[in-house]
Amino acid sequence: MKRLWRIPDFLDLEYFFLQDRELAEEEGERVLRDRDRSFFLEHIGADADISESDHKWLIHRWLEQRRSSENTAQGGHALLPGRMWYELYGLFWSVFSFIAVFAGGGLAYSFLAYSGSQPVNVSAFLLFFVVFQLLFLIVLFFACVYRKFSGLDLRSSLLLALVSKGLNRLLFRVRKYGLDSMSGSRRAQFTAALSAIHMRGKGYGTLFFWPLFLLFQLFGIAFNLGVLGALLVKVASADLAFGWQSTIQLSSGFVASVVQGLALPWAWFLGDGSYPSLSQVEGSRMVLKDGFYHLASADLVSWWPFLCLAICCYCLLPRILLFLFGSRMRSRSLAAVSFTRADHKQLLHRLLTPRLETRVVTEVVETPPLGSPAVPDEEAKSESETETEPENEPEKEPDTKNSEPDAVDAVNGRGMVLVPDELYDAYDGELFSRLCRQAFGYAVAGAISLDDEYCDAEKVFRRLQETDVSAAALLILQEAWQPPIQEMLGFLRDLRKNCGEEQHIIIALIGKPAPDTLFTPVSGLDLQIWKQKTAALADPCLQVSPLLEEL
């Protein structure tokens, strides 16, 4: 079954999310709601039964539509981060393979240079091409074990740091011809989209580590294929002689035991001829003062099958297994990507929540002639009536519940509201529930007040647990005209530590309270200040949005 999501898709998704945030700042959230709801009605259908398991598919359909619109706007194939990453990664596969094969083959060929006066030193060949690679893999294994037991994950590794800091620079340099025509704002969007991948934390996890891991394993596979190829070509095209020597006084029996131990993985099915015997080890030992002309040719050529099999078993095979392991982990990382971030939740809300249009209906009432009977009041129409009806939606029964709505009424589930103590008396739960459902896609499960515990996130979190209500989000009601202070930012940091990295936290902003209602629109300037201040938290699951937009 073909996997729905691929790595380039997430780069493009971040890029379009960034575009939407900028568009919302310039023209308001209403533009996004109208656009995305229209897409759902035109391409999915208002009667479509979209379950929670279909949310990934729905977001992917939206992504494809955005790509199509971008391609149309740019008159062909749009230059998007996902496409650039895909092309660059494919280029790296080709370049890494080419360099590795020639590097391995070239080094092996130089080691196998045989002038006829001195045999090829088996000890040096094994040390350089087998032992060093094997030691590197052992060190890598123990480093992974250490990170595992130390509670460190791969996101703090050097390789991921290289990905997060250097990938966008490589993208721009490799595809500079396409970026030269871009505006400065689009280049900034590209950079921000790539940086958002690393900022998301566990949302993407190690997803972008495994492609780099696979590149290194590909390099190792190609390098060892080059070594093996050079060895076989030299053996087939030249009369090679192999011998061993060492300044350390090693007996032939000890060397033969080591060789036999190394050959255990394949000797059981290839037989004793796959490695030098004791007599062949003794017969291929080189002593400087004696020369090697007295050595038998059968002993000198007995080493090459052992060298080929040692490279295959201890160098090539582990790299192939690591490559398969990396491919499996990449697939698992793709499947584990969560779609619980604020951007995902709000996109689903815009797609699945019907739009409500408020309009004024004016009816001209003809004034009766003088002396005619007056029109009874109960039959007269008001000059202006305010009607709220769904736009381009099938008719639905009006919501007559006085209680707070169930989670089934909201796209994203239920949320708990944290209301500052000074606002709690004026808080209208029923009205807030309707506004919250329309603005954020959440039904309200309950509300608790924030009094002297405002700066103690642990106490607030304990109170939330005591309510015994499962909530997909926390909504914090705040007055936008009061800028966030350091205590508020600290409270949000502590709340995130207690709630977990994927808990959706929404700061629901309201304007200055009016005499008849607490919930008033938020000015654009106040909203911008709040977003700038909270951006320092670098929290991808924190959303700052107005409960009501300024008209």
Q: How far is CA 287 from CA 217, 247, 253, 291, in A?
A: 39, 10, 16, 6
**Amino acid identity at 51:** S
pLDDT of 405-458, one tens digit each? 444 557 888 888 999 888 888 888 889 988 998 888 898 888 888 875 556 777
* Separation CA 440–CA 350 (nearest Å): 9
**Percent of the residues in the chain that have a pLDDT greater than 90, as a whole number:** 23
Provide CB contacts within 8 A for 91, sequence distance 6+: 174
* Position with higher pLDDT, 293 vs 360: 293
Sorting pLDDT into bands at 50, 70 and 90, what band is 389?
very low
* CA–CA distance, 497 with 199 (Å, rounded to integer): 16
How far apart are the C-alpha atoms of 221 and 319, rounded to whole Å?
6
Q: What average pLDDT is seen over the chain?
A: 79
Please state which of the ranges 59-63, 366-370, 405-409 shows the lowest mean pLDDT: 366-370
Please give the CATH topology (third level) of the domain spanning 404-546: Rossmann fold (3.40.50)
Distances (CA, A) of 350 to 37, 48, 434: 6, 15, 15
Contact predicate 491/455, CB 8 Å: yes
Summarize the confidence of residues 261-277 as an average pLDDT: 88
Q: What is the pLDDT of residue 263?
A: 92
pLDDT for 222 equals 96
Strand spans (E) along 105-238: 120-121
Give pLDDT, residue 374.
43
Provide the token pair at 514. Answer: 């009016």
3-state helix, strand, coil in the chain (%, to 5): 60, 10, 30
Predicted confidence band of residue 161 (pLDDT cuts 50, 70, 90): low
Residue 197: pLDDT band with limits 50, 70, 90: low
Q: 157 with 209: CB under 8 angstroms?
A: yes
Do residues 439 and 546 lie in contact, with contact meaning Cβ atoms separated by under 8 Å? Answer: yes
The half-sphere exposure of 483 on its side-chain side, counting CA atoms within 13 A, is: 8
- Report the C-alpha gap between 230 and 111 in whole angstroms: 10
Task: With beta carbons less than 8 A apart as the criterion, state whether 242 and 304 touch.
Answer: yes
Could you give the 3-state DSSP secondary structure of residue 337?
coil
Decide which of 49 and 543 is more confident. 543
Q: SS3 for 26?
A: helix
